[in-house]
Amino acid sequence: MAPKREQDAEPLAERRNRVGAVGNDVRFVAQRAFVRAGFGDNTLVLRWPEIVGPEVAELARPVKLTEAASGGVLTLRAEPAASVFLQHETRSLCERINAYLGRPAVHRLRFVFGPLQAPEPKPVPPTASKEAPAQDAARRFEGPEALKTALLDLARMRANRPPCD
């Protein structure tokens, strides 16, 4: 039996300058940004509409969470016109947030006025035109009616899509 060489005994070191998954770095950078803003638990920001409801989520968004011995202060960015409504809802909002966090973390809300970024609209699925093009081969298909209908639907969808560059 041949003796082991010293090189074979050591595990290979991780090589540098290799391409890795972007998601690994993004997760790390995003977590650091949340922590800098005081959100140790980033789900408060990510699940904001579920916690406070869709009506309030359209009016205000969490910006910063400051925790102190006297109680936590959650800073919300809101439209100026919505601040009166939100100030009346402060107690119930704090209760909802604390119930979600499972501890009395927020005792007070602070409002910063400014425009909110509109949520990105959901993509609209393409709609089929009324008729398949006359020259399409699906019109000449002679087979089961269900399959012919599906092929005609596909031809209508293809007729509506934008041309590829």
Q: Do residues 133 and 155 lie in contact, with contact meaning Cβ atoms separated by under 8 Å?
A: yes
Inside any domain, residue 82: yes
Inside any domain, residue 109: yes
Shared domain for 135 and 156, answered yes or no, is yes
Domains held by the chain: number: 2
What is the residue-wise DSSP string for 1-57? -PPPPHHHHSPPPPPSS----HHHHHHHHHHHHHHHTT-SSTHHHHTHHHHH-HHHH
pLDDT of residue 130: 66
Shared domain for 80 and 40, answered yes or no, is yes
* Reported pTM: 0.53
Shared domain for 29 and 103, answered yes or no, is yes
pLDDT tens digits, 92-142: 999 998 898 888 888 888 888 888 776 667 777 665 556 667 677 777 788
pLDDT of residue 95: 92
The residue range of the domain holding 136 is: 123-165
pLDDT tens digits, 35-79: 777 777 777 888 889 999 988 888 888 888 888 777 888 888 888
Shared domain for 83 and 45, answered yes or no, is yes
